[in-house]
């Protein structure tokens, strides 16, 4: 069965509207965002040569769509402080934990897509640190 925006929403998927502040209170906008991720997943799975319809095609579409959504959340998080102190001067702080949790999710979603399309890849484990290191995946081609 083809993947839809509903497949990306909790409880079937990973996303709830509150994860995308621009969409809060606007279900139509949220659905349009998720539909765009699904469309990109269809394009990516088709370009990878996965036969549609198939269970593998649907898994690849969902994995790529989830990766795109998680990547957007991660990028938002990079500019959103974990706490703000406005007493005498404005201060913001970010925690390594907030970055690491989403970086791990990103790696998981990308790996799921790569597994479906047959890419052999490796993960270089680097946790976020004050120097800005984040996990990377390197694809070495088809299996």
Residue of 124, 120, 102 lying closest to 111 (CA atoms): 120
> Number of structural domains, the chain?
1
pLDDT at residue 100, as a whole number: 81
* Two tokens, residue 38: 């699904």
Per-10-residue mean pLDDT of the chain, 143 residues long, equals: 94 94 93 97 92 91 94 82 66 71 84 80 45 44 44
pLDDT at residue 91, as a whole number: 62
pTM: 0.70
**Domain containing residue 57:** 5-142
Residue of 32, 29, 13, 12 lying closest to 21 (CA atoms): 29
* Two tokens, residue 20: 């995308």
């Amino acid at each position: 069965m083809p993947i839809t925006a509903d497949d990306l929403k909790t409880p079937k998927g990973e996303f709830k509207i509150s994860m995308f502040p621009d969409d809060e209170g606007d279900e139509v906008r949220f659905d349009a965002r998720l539909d765009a991720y699904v469309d990109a997943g269809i394009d990516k799975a088709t370009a990878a040569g996965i036969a549609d319809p198939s269970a593998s095609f649907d898994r690849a579409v969902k994995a790529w769509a989830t990766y795109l959504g998680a990547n957007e959340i991660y990028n938002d998080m990079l500019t959103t402080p974990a706490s703000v102190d406005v007493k005498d001067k404005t201060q913001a702080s970010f925690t390594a934990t907030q970055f690491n949790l989403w970086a791990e999710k990103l790696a998981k979603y990308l790996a799921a897509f790569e597994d479906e399309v047959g890419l052999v890849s490796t993960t270089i484990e680097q946790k976020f640190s004050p120097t800005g290191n984040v996990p990377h995946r390197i694809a070495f081609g088809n299996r």
